[in-house]
């Protein structure tokens, strides 16, 4: 392990010392058996014992899961659908049709002309935009981490790798933009891109004002909709491409309910040409075909069940916010109706956020802490709670009061042992996923 000293954090080094001591004398067969056991334990824990309220995750349908365990998992495919570079054409005849269905479904769901379907995550989708459509030395304006952004458009993420300068969009409460200060900021920075969206979107952005500001300096707008797919697709939020965004990125998991992957959407032919030409071979030489199949299945389910599913997500998040408010929590956005998305953000700065997060995890209630827009540097004073997996498990507005009760009891210090029993009993009736074939 000495070779990792100075490369891994000390805590990681300590963990790896324990792993090497544990497995040094085990046979490869024993290690394989342990891997199988760990996967089974994880599945049982996640599916049967946890209340998952993590905004970055969702449950994948049984049909999509089965497709991950097919021969497609080990096959390669490179290039454009219907005209692959490798392997020879006859070997791609099945996967080409599957990829074609992905493109068709995404265009139909999101009313767009062009889609890049091959990126491996929403972060890679954002990276593709920077590398294909900007030049080193240019400046982008994006939301700060405190103001609602994430690392995929901050200096420590892909923009830094691309050599872009990153300036903060002027912040406003509720993870929005200070539109009155926007023009001055854009005029001073003269960005090539304005980036909004990400992981803490509660309400629509004023894309009209963002578009007007961008046009004054010839900038383009990237809308990171990684968490918002079904709400946009079925008219329950805003329609970024129709309202002025040049490019929109999505994740195929999170609200979308598919395997992890990324999508890039645009209506601009020139932008599409530049992005699609760069994905292969610059970003990926091949991709697991089983994930294409699972994504196509999941998109089909979304096209069929999506309107009902999206409405229930929105209803559940609003109901949960109201129930938490009734129980004395400081729910962010109360003055505007809490939220119009899948997530609820709660200010627990005065309650010890890290201690609460630890107690949640020990109680099998999976909720991460988050940075609030008015936190001091390095602060994480909030909870970021979402309902998409609970919704797909079949929970409705009525169950949100029970969810709020579990959260409150854990925050108030009920023992993790007792809470684990309560959580397991609460989720037991919801083991059969809804909104799937």
Q: Give me the phi and psi of 320, to 5 degrees please.
A: -65, -40
- pLDDT (0 to 100) of residue 131: 97
Q: How far apart are CA 339 and CA 184, in angstroms?
A: 29
**How many CB atoms are closer than 10 A to CB 303?**
16
Measured CA distances, 183 to 154, 158, 179, 211 (Å):
21, 26, 7, 11
Q: How far apart are CA 335 and CA 375, in angstroms?
A: 19
Residue whose C-alpha is closest to residue 67's, from 221, 291, 396: 291
Question: What is the pLDDT confidence band of residue 150, given thresholds at 50, 70 and 90?
Answer: confident
Question: What is the pLDDT confidence band of residue 332, given thresholds at 50, 70 and 90?
Answer: very high
* pTM score over 0.75: yes
Element spanning 128, H or E: helix 122-133
Element spanning 427, H or E: helix 416-427
- State yes or no: pLDDT of 285 exceeds 60: yes
- pLDDT (0 to 100) of residue 145: 87
Per-residue pLDDT tens for 3-35? 788 899 999 999 999 999 999 999 999 999 999
Per-residue pLDDT tens for 166-180? 999 999 999 999 999
Per-residue pLDDT tens for 65-121? 999 999 999 999 999 999 999 998 889 999 999 999 999 999 999 999 999 999 999
For range 339-346, the mean pLDDT? 97
- State yes or no: pLDDT of 1 exceeds 60: no
Q: How far apart are CA 215 and CA 418, in angstroms?
A: 57
- pLDDT (0 to 100) of residue 4: 84
Domains of the chain, with CATH numbers?
Answer: 66-298 (3.40.640.10), 305-430 (3.90.1150.10)
Per-residue pLDDT tens for 41-63? 999 999 999 999 999 999 999 99
- pLDDT (0 to 100) of residue 199: 87
Q: Give me the phi and psi of 229, to 5 degrees please.
A: -45, -65
Question: What is the pLDDT confidence band of residue 377, given thresholds at 50, 70 and 90?
Answer: confident
- State yes or no: pLDDT of 286 exceeds 90: no
Bridge partners for 249 per DSSP = 224, 264
- pLDDT (0 to 100) of residue 247: 98
Mean pLDDT of the chain: 96
Angle at 166 (CA atoms; ends 160, 172), nearest 5 degrees: 135
């Amino acid at each position: 392990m000495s070779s990792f000293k100075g490369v891994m954090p000390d805590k990681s080094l300590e963990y790896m010392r324990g792993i090497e001591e544990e497995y040094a004398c085990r046979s490869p067969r024993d290690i394989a058996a342990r891997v199988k056991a760990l996967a089974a334990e994880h599945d049982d824990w996640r599916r049967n014992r946890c209340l998952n309220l993590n905004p970055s995750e969702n449950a994948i349908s049984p049909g999509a899961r089965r497709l991950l365990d097919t021969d497609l998992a080990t096959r390669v495919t490179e290039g454009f659908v219907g005209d692959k570079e490798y392997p020879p054409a006859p070997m791609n005849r099945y996967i080409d049709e599957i990829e074609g269905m992905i493109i068709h479904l995404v265009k139909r769901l999101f009313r767009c002309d062009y889609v890049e379907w091959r990126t491996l995550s929403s972060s890679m989708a954002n990276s593709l935009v920077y590398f294909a459509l900007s030049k080193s030395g240019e400046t982008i304006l994006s939301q700060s981490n405190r103001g609602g952004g994430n690392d995929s458009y901050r200096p420590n993420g892909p923009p830094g790798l691309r050599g872009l300068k990153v300036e903060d969009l002027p912040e406003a409460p509720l993870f929005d933009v200070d539109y009155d200060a926007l023009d001055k900021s854009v005029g001073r920075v003269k960005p090539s891109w304005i980036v909004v969206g990400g992981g803490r979107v509660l309400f629509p952005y004023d894309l009209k004002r963002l578009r007007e500001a961008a046009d004054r300096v010839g900038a383009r707008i990237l809308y990171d909709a990684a968490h918002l797919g079904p709400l946009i697709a079925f008219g329950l939020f805003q329609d970024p491409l129709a309202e002025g965004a040049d490019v929109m990125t999505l994740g195929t998991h999170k609200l979308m309910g598919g395997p992890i992957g990324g999508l890039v959407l645009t209506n601009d032919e020139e932008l599409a040409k530049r992005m699609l030409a760069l994905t292969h071979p610059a970003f990926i030489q091949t991709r697991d075909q089983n994930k294409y199949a699972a994504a196509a299945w999941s998109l089909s389910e979304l096209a069929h069940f999506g309107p009902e599913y999206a409405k229930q997500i929105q209803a559940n998040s609003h109901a949960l916010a109201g129930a938490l408010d009734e129980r004395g929590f400081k729910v962010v956005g109360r003055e505007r109706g809490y939220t119009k998305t899948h997530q609820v953000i709660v200010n627990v700065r005065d309650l010890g956020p890290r201690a609460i997060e630890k107690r949640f995890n020990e109680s099998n209630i999976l909720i991460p802490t988050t940075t609030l827009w008015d936190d001091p540097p390095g602060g994480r004073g909030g909870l970021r709670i979402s309902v998409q997996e609970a919704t797909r498990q079949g929970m409705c507005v009525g169950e949100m009061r029970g969810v709020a009760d579990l959260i409150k009891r854990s925050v108030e210090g009920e023992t993790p042992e007792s809470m684990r029993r309560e959580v397991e009993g609460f989720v037991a009736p919801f083991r059969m996923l809804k909104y799937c074939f």
